Structure 1
Amino acid sequence: MRRSPHPAGPPAGPPRPGNLPHEMNRFIGRAAELGALRRTLETARLVTVTGAGGVGKSRFAAHVAARSPEGLRRDGVWRVELAPIRRPELVEYTVVEALGLTDHTTRPPRQILVDHLAERQLVLVLDGFEHLVDACASLVRDLLRAAPGLRVVAVGRRPLALEGEHLFPLAPLTDEDAVELFADRATALLPGFTLDGGHAVDVLEVCRRLDCLPLAVELAAGRLPALSPTQLMERLDDRFRLLTGGCRDALPRHQTLRTAIGWSHELCTAQERLLWARLSVFAGQFDLEAAEYICGGEGLPSEAVLDVLHDLLTQSVVIREESVAGVRYRMLDTVRAYGAEWLEQIGDGRRMRRRHRDWYMGLATWCELDWFSPRQGEVAARIDAELPNLRAALEFCLTEPGETHLGQYLAGTLWFYWAGCGRLTEGRHWLDRSIDLDDPVDGDEAFEYGASRLKALWVLGYVAILQGDTVPALAALQECHDEAERGGDATALAYAVHRTGCLALVTDDMPRAEQLLRAALTSYREIGELNSNVLMGQVELAMAVAFQGDLPEAVALCEDVRQVCEDHGERWTMAYALYVLAYAEWHKGDLVRARELLERCLAIDHEFHDLLGTVLAMELLALVTLAEGDAAEAAVLQGAAGGIWPSVGLPLFGSGHYNEPHQLCEKRARAALGDARFDELARAGERLGHDEAVARALGQGKPGRVTAMVRTPRASAPDMREPAASPTANGGETTG
């Protein structure tokens, strides 16, 4: 099952690989096809399941992939939903996201996927690719060439047309299976429903007239709370005659599905049809509040949306789902597309897309403010759930004339998500696009438009710094600085100075970093700015003074940050403050305290999926573990950190100051273990998955770990700048 975007804490052990959701109702029929596809997967690396919309391709492919031979799916079965994606360049980002990968580097997403999949054995289900066939074909070809253990099950209405592709056309259900499907879904809605009393004959006729397409059968069964099987059969005649004006050269199954959906549409009331059309503006899931704001209005008051939505739920037009962000709803893509056609026909598409954009602009603004609060975890989960809709809102802004500044504002407002929740690569994509576009504006609106661009510029600089891409970072920050100074925007100027100080920090210019960060913090106080960014600036200042040898001031700065964070319930910045405090405790030789601080730090970083914070904490934990006397475990942790760094950026920023603990740990561990043994253990650590590595660092993944060893103070840690005798032998040695 796909990992929760923000679990309550690091897992106790390796999670079940893959992201296939558990089936919520019984899979019915297709025994012969199930066996045939399973056998095909044993020999074919690319199988494309084709068929008409509504024939059940997605459910069938996922069901078989989950039951494929275990040797093919050692690293899981991963499903990628491509139906909500509209731009070809987002295909690769979507696959990266579905696989749960986070990469802060400037590597293209395709390279990230190639590197990740190269030595893994897994099944990748690409669902709903037909409108992105060229982009998907190119990506699948490259991945199959680079990853010999990869199997791809593509699901769409046409082939990818690649060498080695095995086509698996999926036919409708048999009469018997269709009737069983109808009865099963009907019983879920009406527990007393049976096929007795003549119902069997009517149900069979309904299924046959719907060509036994699973979607059509389920839509029909969804009407039983209102209509009997006899009434269903009678109304089918009327609706089929009404909706037989399609193109003669269209595939019969496409006509049949359109008839089935059109029939369900015709059975809806005027308000139900209107809501169906308006809901089509959502990409992926949505919640009730969004539906009420966006879809309420003329012909459908906001207060009526809930009741009408309930009616659509009972008819299986809309699906209810539970998520970490609460109760949410979605429409099958075919059903959504039907509603979108109606929305365009009534001439309301552009207005609804603008209302959709306005809602998600407001949501992002609220979440940015609420990030500095005890609700950080909830905010992160909410943005995760709303990402498809936020993408749609960004796309609208960046393609609609005169709206670019709103796209810049939205991309900049989401800084906390890009930087704090492991989404730097996608954030960089939207920020670069928004900056490259610009709408010239004169008059009173120029200041507002300029402020949006300035925000996007400093956020772009921040994201590029964290990716290790210093030249574009400096260019963006310099432009922000100059324009803010010229326009008198004190807030943007403070952020430009702050992030330029951060750039100096990671490039080892500590005096300049200290000067700029102190100046930025002074400016923040003068303008009354207090948020996670401001506190992070104080932590970065603490790092700058610590690297210059002033540990007491670094501790004082971070203790102040910790107090403010505790007062406001802020945890993301808190984790970085804990890291600096642990660094100071290690220097003092208090290994017990250093480990306590680092374990808290790492747990928070892992919760937010912040890979930069995670890998910094793991590097320092390796050094603490070495000082505790366990050189073998230190080697494993260093290897695990080394396996994560390529997804973060330049290891330890290429910085001598950040690299010093790493070099010291490796030198002493090698001296204790010998080069061959150290390399063996480091490689074992590098093979750990992200969740496994964090669990290992927290002592949950190492067999027989002696907790008392962690709690027993040892001799003070020697100064990093002085050579020291090798630590004692590899206590608790393990191969990982």
Structure 2
Amino acid sequence: MKRVADGGPLTSYVGRAEDENEVRRLLGVGRLVTLTGAGGAGKTRLAAQVASSLTRAFPGGVTVAGLGELRDERLVARAVADSLGLHDTAARTDLEAVASYLRPRRSLLVLDNCEHLLTGSAELVTTLLRDCPDLVLLATSRCSLGIAGEQVFTIPSLSLPSEEARTPREALASGAVRLFAERAGSVLPSFEVTEDNVADVVRLCRRLDGLPLAIELAAARIRVLSPSQIADRVERNSAVLATGLRLPVERHRTLRVTLDWSHSLCTATERTVWARCSVFAGQFDLSAAEDVCGLSEAAALDAIDGLVDKSVLIRVDGTDRVHYRMLRLLREYGAQRLSDSGDELAVARKHRDHYARLVEQASGSWFGPGQDEAYERLTAAHADLREALSWSLRTPEESPVALEMVVGVIEYWLARGAAWEARDWIDRALAAMPPDSAGRARGLAIASLCAALHADLPRARERSAAAEAIEDDDAAPYVAHARAFVMMLSTEPNSLTHAAKAVRIFGERGDVRRQMHPMFLQGVALAYRGDLPGARALLGSMRSLCEEAGEYRYRSMALFGSGVAEVGFGGDLDEGERFIRAALEIDLRTSDVLSAAYRVDGLAWVAARREDWVRAAELFGTAATLWERCNAEPDVAVSATHRAFHEATRKALGEKKFDAAFAEGRRRNPHEVLHTRPVAAPDGEQRVLPPLTQRETEIARLVAAGLGNREIATRLVIARRTVETHLQHISHKLDFTNRTQLAVWVAGQDPL
């Protein structure tokens, strides 16, 4: 077993070679295989191991969508879309977007932890199997999905040693003992199975039925207890049984005994923190634990440190702060303890209040240099934002808080490519609110904006009219903003008037951030009306406001607007190109793939205007790759200009030459558009590092080269959240808890 100097675990996957071979065989003869078994049986690890070995068999990609953090059936398709890096900008549901993306590809999709979302998972799988003929699905669940054609493989326990095993060699021939030895060694580097302790290790592993989670929890105590003491305590707790976990009887007994024993070893404060932290759906930081548990920083830190030491919590290193997560089975155990305590409602409210404050803080810092940090914190908290929203919607009189949590930083949802999800939360909050609730008109206006983003103009008009009918002065600029956007997309007159009204009122209120998008609309509308000087002045003012505040995302929008005005309406072509290129530099730096698609498309217009037809076709090809990565296309806002230049380029080159240049452009990295030299892989070696996929291998090597998540996202032209998801998968496969361990492992895998 490899170790690093800091004592952290560098454990390997304890193999299930026969099980892996059988799962691969089943995937070769059917399109849906479900791995079933008790919680803690190792379903996720086996699925990841199998999937990582099949990357060459699926040229369309291998994708893992984890459902464990979800508690809402409606979000299953959205979770898959997130894993695929899809933006929901088109006028279709998340499920339609996922099916559209996967339909032409020979792909493997892994759905992990389906058991608590069986209806949503079954509906998604049924649709995908019907609509995507080359898609193969591998699911993990405590029970089958119940779909025709499903092949179910029930994962057995790890192989057990014989009761008569008396030597380390005999004992280590079993998977259960190998796992215990590796996990114990990661906690106490001096530990090994010896002649003196082998009988106790065998007794313990047999008592734990070879269940991986039970073995890992037991091994975590090796620093303070011997194998003999651990085995004795597990056996003494055999009579302490309870119900509540949906497991087969024998495995239920084994796991419950182990969990009760682990719980009994905790201090009173640690038990409280275990129960209260079960409300978290995803990863959480120390400040969240303090708020939810009602403890001081010192007390919360001591308890969390103890729970990490006992393997109840898992440490997750981030770029600027440490987070923690709890395996779902341990979360369920803690939730039962919380329910028994009678504190469930109060703790859930504290959880919701914490994330409502997080949104409020993000709103206050969004328009400025703190925007990236705000986005990262919200992204890390996304699973718990969803949980806080769900709780607010199912709790009487709390729906107004849910509405404010969504509309407070609507930019976050759009940057995630989750406009459909935002629309759904807003609609559900509005439906649950009394008609005379404060903030209803504002919510309706923002719902109108979100509908317009999907080109759902009838719904957008309906929402806008409903907002206007309430006659709420506070909502007036929001209503004007929504009406301006709808009118522009509908090519109706007066969009300029309403955009100007929104800009004026937001300005009078000192709300510069909310001036930005209507100011963009006003500037583009001026250009459409032939007032190029007016457009230049207004969009220049927008750029200046962003520069003064240290804001980037709206600055990119302003630069692009200035470029469109110059390129599309007879302005200075060189100046327009400079604006669009500057916008693209921002988008690539912030990993905003959707915006980058617009910018590259705009540079294709520049080349077409110069009659540099080959370059124009290549740029259209590069843009097409970006649109595809987002599962989007040039929408109503730029479709006319895009179509005009695209058709002119095709006509000038002819079909054959256009297609060849377009194909060449599709193969290019968008960084090449800016004439930047791509960063080489750390050692030039491109082989896949098992058990990682090709993309995970790329990311692992870039981590080893010292790049942060933002730099990796920029280099690979993917969303930062996609990098974070891949790193989570890597940490699960390799049992690593920090980047240093990963870097050392990569160095060991890649020969010099």
Displacement of 1:648: 8.0
Q: Does residue 517 of the first structure (1) align with residue 499 of the second (2)?
A: yes
Q: Does residue 258 of the first structure (1) align with residue 256 of the second (2)?
A: yes
Q: Hey, what does 2:21 align to over in structure 1?
A: 35
Could you tell me whether the CA contact under 8 Å between 2:34 and 2:141 is conserved in 1?
yes
Q: Distance in 2 between the 1:270 and 1:547 partners?
A: 68
Q: Hey, what does 1:369 align to over in structure 2?
A: 364
Q: Distance in 1 between the 2:646 and 2:435 partners?
A: 55
Q: Does residue 548 of the first structure (1) align with residue 529 of the second (2)?
A: yes
Q: Hey, what does 2:117 align to over in structure 1?
A: 132
Q: Hey, what does 2:539 align to over in structure 1?
A: 558
Q: Does residue 616 of the first structure (1) align with residue 598 of the second (2)?
A: yes
Query: Which residue identity is paired with 1:463?
Result: C
Displacement of 1:433: 1.1
Q: 1:399 aligns with which of 369, 391, 394?
A: 394
With over 3 angstroms needed to count, the CA separation of the structure-2 counterparts of 1:661 and 1:29, relative to structure 1, is closer
1:89-238 pair list within 5 angstroms: 89-175=74-160, 176-196=174-194, 198-238=196-236
With over 3 angstroms needed to count, the CA separation of the structure-2 counterparts of 1:248 and 1:463, relative to structure 1, is closer
Q: Hey, what does 2:648 align to over in structure 1?
A: 668
Query: Which residue identity is paired with 2:124?
Result: L
With over 3 angstroms needed to count, the CA separation of the structure-2 counterparts of 1:693 and 1:459, relative to structure 1, is farther
Could you tell me whether the CA contact under 8 Å between 1:670 and 1:678 is conserved in 2?
yes
Could you tell me whether the CA contact under 8 Å between 1:409 and 1:455 is conserved in 2?
no
Q: Deviations over 1:132-171 (max 9, x none)?
A: 2222122112212222221211101111222222221111
1:637-656 pair list within 5 angstroms: 637-639=619-621, 641=623, 652-654=634-636
1:17-56 pair list within 5 angstroms: 25-56=11-42
Q: Distance in 1 between the 2:414 and 2:246 partners?
A: 53
Displacement of 1:440: 5.9
Say which SS state the counterpart of residue 494 (structure 2) adopts. helix
Structure 1 unaligned runs (5+)?
A: 1-22, 442-448, 703-736
Query: Which residue identity is paired with 2:595?
Result: G
Q: 2:343 aligns with which of 318, 331, 348?
A: 348
Q: Deviations over 1:473-511 (max 9, x none)?
A: 12222222332x3x442xx211211221122222223x5
Deviates more, 1:669-678 or 1:569-578: 669-678
With over 3 angstroms needed to count, the CA separation of the structure-2 counterparts of 1:477 and 1:244, relative to structure 1, is closer
Q: Does residue 58 of the first structure (1) align with residue 39 of the second (2)?
A: no
Displacement of 1:114: 1.1
Structure 2 unaligned runs (5+)?
A: 1-8, 161-173, 679-752
Could you tell me whether the CA contact under 8 Å between 2:523 and 2:534 is conserved in 1?
yes
Q: Distance in 2 between the 1:581 and 1:245 partners?
A: 64
Query: Which residue identity is paired with 2:139?
Result: A
Q: Distance in 2 between the 1:80 and 1:650 partners?
A: 20
Q: Distance in 2 between the 1:325 and 1:439 partners?
A: 41
Deviates more, 1:322-331 or 1:240-249: 240-249
Could you tell me whether the CA contact under 8 Å between 1:404 and 1:439 is conserved in 2?
no
% identical equivalent positions: 36
Say which SS state the counterpart of residue 143 (structure 2) adopts. coil
Q: Does residue 478 of the first structure (1) align with residue 465 of the second (2)?
A: yes
Aligned length: 656
Could you tell me whether the CA contact under 8 Å between 2:39 and 2:329 is conserved in 1?
yes
With over 3 angstroms needed to count, the CA separation of the structure-2 counterparts of 1:471 and 1:694, relative to structure 1, is farther
Query: Which residue identity is paired with 2:438?
Result: G
Displacement of 1:578: 0.6
Deviates more, 1:279-288 or 1:145-154: 145-154
Q: Distance in 1 between the 2:660 and 2:112 partners?
A: 40
With over 3 angstroms needed to count, the CA separation of the structure-2 counterparts of 1:664 and 1:250, relative to structure 1, is closer
Displacement of 1:611: 6.0
Q: Distance in 2 between the 1:171 and 1:182 partners?
A: 17
Q: Does residue 497 of the first structure (1) align with residue 480 of the second (2)?
A: yes
Q: Deviations over 1:688-713 (max 9, x none)?
A: 7xxx67446545799xxxxxxxxxxx
Could you tell me whether the CA contact under 8 Å between 2:220 and 2:311 is conserved in 1?
yes
Displacement of 1:232: 0.8
With over 3 angstroms needed to count, the CA separation of the structure-2 counterparts of 1:24 and 1:418, relative to structure 1, is farther
Displacement of 1:334: 0.3
Query: Which residue identity is paired with 2:82?
Result: E
Query: Which residue identity is paired with 1:102?
Result: H
Deviates more, 1:367-376 or 1:318-327: 318-327
Q: Hey, what does 2:412 align to over in structure 1?
A: 417
Say which SS state the counterpart of residue 140 (structure 1) adopts. helix
Could you tell me whether the CA contact under 8 Å between 1:506 and 1:653 is conserved in 2?
no
With over 3 angstroms needed to count, the CA separation of the structure-2 counterparts of 1:271 and 1:648, relative to structure 1, is closer
Q: Deviations over 1:643-683 (max 9, x none)?
A: 7668989965446xx34432432243123211343356557
Say which SS state the counterpart of residue 273 (structure 2) adopts. helix
Could you tell me whether the CA contact under 8 Å between 2:176 and 2:205 is conserved in 1?
yes
Could you tell me whether the CA contact under 8 Å between 2:60 and 2:106 is conserved in 1?
yes
Q: Deviations over 1:95-114 (max 9, x none)?
A: 11121111212312221111
Displacement of 1:356: 0.3
Query: Which residue identity is paired with 1:525?
Result: G
Displacement of 1:597: 2.5
Could you tell me whether the CA contact under 8 Å between 1:325 and 1:381 is conserved in 2?
no
Say which SS state the counterpart of residue 272 (structure 2) adopts. helix
Q: Distance in 1 between the 2:266 and 2:74 partners?
A: 37
Could you tell me whether the CA contact under 8 Å between 2:242 and 2:256 is conserved in 1?
no
Q: Distance in 2 between the 1:111 and 1:505 partners?
A: 27
Q: Distance in 2 between the 1:530 and 1:246 partners?
A: 52
Deviates more, 1:127-136 or 1:196-205: 196-205
With over 3 angstroms needed to count, the CA separation of the structure-2 counterparts of 1:697 and 1:46, relative to structure 1, is farther
Q: 2:579 aligns with which of 594, 597, 612?
A: 597
Q: Hey, what does 1:239 align to over in structure 2?
A: 237
Could you tell me whether the CA contact under 8 Å between 2:480 and 2:501 is conserved in 1?
yes
Q: Hey, what does 2:289 align to over in structure 1?
A: 291
With over 3 angstroms needed to count, the CA separation of the structure-2 counterparts of 1:593 and 1:654, relative to structure 1, is closer
Say which SS state the counterpart of residue 164 (structure 1) adopts. coil
Could you tell me whether the CA contact under 8 Å between 2:157 and 2:211 is conserved in 1?
yes
Query: Which residue identity is paired with 1:386?
Result: A
Q: Does residue 430 of the first structure (1) align with residue 425 of the second (2)?
A: yes
Could you tell me whether the CA contact under 8 Å between 2:617 and 2:662 is conserved in 1?
yes
Displacement of 1:59: 0.8
Deviates more, 1:588-597 or 1:94-103: 588-597
Give the TM-score normalised by structure 1.
Answer: 0.84
Q: Hey, what does 1:625 align to over in structure 2?
A: 607
Displacement of 1:395: 0.5
Q: Hey, what does 2:454 align to over in structure 1?
A: 467
Q: Deviations over 1:519-558 (max 9, x none)?
A: 2222223222221x21222222111111112222211212
Q: Distance in 2 between the 1:248 and 1:578 partners?
A: 56
Say which SS state the counterpart of residue 450 (structure 1) adopts. coil
Give the TM-score normalised by structure 2.
Answer: 0.82
Query: Which residue identity is paired with 2:126?
Result: R
Query: Which residue identity is paired with 1:28?
Result: V
Q: Does residue 450 of the first structure (1) align with residue 448 of the second (2)?
A: no
Displacement of 1:391: 0.4
Deviates more, 1:581-590 or 1:27-36: 581-590
